[in-house]
Chains A and B, each alone.
Chain A
Amino acid sequence: KAGVTQTPRYLIKTRGQQVTLSCSPISGHRSVSWYQQTPGQGLQFLFEYFSETQRNKGNFPGRFSGRQFSNSRSEMNVSTLELGDSALYLCASSLIPGPNTEAFFGQGTRLTVV
């Protein structure tokens, strides 16, 4: 069974540009969550999607958005990139939302903004 797949693995963007990251969950998993990991702030919850609906969102500006497709694949978009958006973006999938089902993480996308 394939794990959570995140593409691309590495990305370099220029300040002011926008970027789209992709996450393919484990087959059968319908919930996808996104996290940002930086040395300074650590791991922070971005948002969670279930059945193509955003279930909740962390404390991030509106430049951060996402969506989920009918096959449960998810994308997150960051517009007007800032240097501080440089981070490892992790995606996690689970069968359903909630802490009582195990979340499986991908290997992340390393975004560098220059």
Chain B
Amino acid sequence: AQTVTQSQPEMSVQEAETVTLSCTYDTSESDYYLFWYKQPPSRQMILVIRQEAYKQQNATENRFSVNFQKAAKSFSLKISDSQLGDAAMYFCACSSGGGADGLTFGKGTHLIIQP
């Protein structure tokens, strides 16, 4: 079993600035995957970025990057050059044990972009 904690219920950032969303996780498995999903008002969950635990290099996808600290069990998401379209709920998730228990999600962070 795994747990995922997002301690920031809401974050606000000015358009074009950088924001970091925090996530900590706990799992007893050595093989696991970490994800950030975005859920806009349309409700559809969209994968933002994925990190394999065995990879030391932090994943990046255009303006999105992660800071994966394995020893600290921390997995934060950095959004650079924030855009209005980035406004959404962001969920951190973990999958381990071959995915037997599906994805375990955090409670989410509501990201507000100030124009």
Contact = CB atoms under 8 A, between A and B. Distances in A.
A56 B33 contact: no
Interface residues of A, number: 25
A98 B101 CA distance: 10
A102 B43 contact: no
B43 A56 contact: no
Interface string A90-102: 1010000111101
Q: Is the interface of A mostly helix, strand, loop or mixed?
A: strand
A106 B108 CA distance: 18
B43 A45 contact: no
A58 B2 CA distance: 13
A102 B103 CA distance: 11
B43 A98 contact: no
Given A42-B106, A45-B101, A100 B47 contact: no
A56 B44 contact: no
Contacts of B101: 45, 56, 58
A103 B47 contact: yes
B44 A45 contact: no
Contact of A108 (B37, B44, B93): B44
A107 B46 CA distance: 10
A103 B48 CA distance: 11
Interface of A: 33, 35, 42-45, 48, 55-56, 58, 88, 90, 92, 97-100, 102-108, 110
